Amino acid sequence: RESLLTKHSKDSNIGSIANLTISVYIYTCIYALIQFAFEKKSPPLTMYLKKWVVFESVPLIISYAKIFLLSTFIYPITYFYYHSTVRAKYIWASFYSIYLIYFFVYTFKSCYHKSLSSLSVTILCMEGVRLTLKIHSFFRENMRLSLIPDRPFAKFSQMLYYFFAPTTIYRDNYPRKKKIKILKAMKYFVQFMSAFIASCIIYECYLIPRLIKVSQNPLSFKVLFFEVLSNCVPSTAFMILMFFFYLHAFQNFFAEILRFGDRLFYTDWWNAKSYSEFYKTWNIVVQDWLRTYIFNDLRRILPVSVRNAISSIAVITLSSIVHEYIMFMIVGSFCPAITISFGGFGGFLYLIHF
């Protein structure tokens, strides 16, 4: 299955709209660069990226290598569980729980490295969350497969492929393309870098100055109301760019170099008629994990009359907590705006359309 934007790009009408949208983004970025250069005497991101490459790339790589190495310890834990007796399985399941908690704590502490900036912390934190989802899926799927008599345990290479593949559900084998299309992979990489840089420019030139201005003046409901309205357009543009560079370009780039066949990472969330539909179509990769290991698991053990509602609340709550955790690690302070908007008001909208 191809990504939706990849299929739609072959349509000339959709391609024209895409070209128009790209032109608007290019103009916006050029205008912001010129304005920022005249006011600040230097273009945005230039000095920051130089500093990041020179001073932070090595600590970031070392920290990530340690986190990834720790994540591979799930293989021997799952292996011993797989080949244990029924009683011993309880011991290894408990050991897995301790390991998962330790992995989370270690990732949390790694993000507090004194020489790392918010960009490096973002990378480490999101990778820590991604690997946590993969670790749990690898263990859970092999728990189920261990019930099959005389079935061989997964190879280490299969687990490594899964850790890099753009999916959160472990399978021994995935649909694969016959060969890597280098030009197509390069196209996705260029799209990723272009959208990433554009999102950084919008963030630094349009969002940050407004937030600084608000923080320097007395805050009232009127000021807050108009600032929220004025930030809606650049924030929406920033959100769309984040979707494009991460859920489309980045995922398709890794799918191409790994010959990963199933590339339906999202569906037409822009046509969603309810919040619940938007939530289920925005990020299929994470949604599959939440549905498999949270929603479906709770539905099996809860009473029929309340299982759908409680399972949905659990999914929304976990999602809001993880998003809040990521924002806390990046910003360095706790402000439960995401929990209130995403888990509170958004959760209510999700349930009434469930």
Catalytic residue annotation: 323
Token pair 């299955």 is at which residue?
Answer: 1
**Please, what is the angle between helix 182-202 and helix 12-40, to 10°?**
50
Task: Write out the two tokens for 217.
Answer: 């003046």
> What six digits make up the tokens of 27?
């103009």
Residue with tokens 């509170």: 344
CA-CA distance, 283 to 267, in Å (whole number)? 8
Residue count of the chain, please give it.
354
Q: What is the Cα–Cα distance from 289 to 281, expressed in whole angstroms? A: 13
Enumerate residues 6+ apart whose C-beta is below 8 A from 173: 158
Question: Distance (Å, rounded) from C-alpha 6 to C-alpha 93?
Answer: 42
- Which of 139-162 are b and which e, b meaning 16 or more Cβ less than 10 Å from the residue's Cβ? bbbbbeebeeeeeebbeeebbebb
Written as six digits, the tokens of 228 are 């929220």
Q: Give the CA distances from residue 305 to residues 301, 309, 318, in Å, rounded to whole numbers and listed in that order.
A: 12, 9, 22
Task: Judge residue 33's burial from the number of C-beta atoms within 10 Å of its C-beta, 0-12 exposed, 13-18 middle, 19 or more buried.
Answer: middle
Rg (CA), the chain: 22
Contacts for 313 with CB less than 8 Å, ≥ 6 apart: 347, 351
Tokens of 85: 């007796």
CA dist 195 and 189 (Å) reads 10
Q: Phi/psi of residue 260, each to 5°?
A: -75, 125
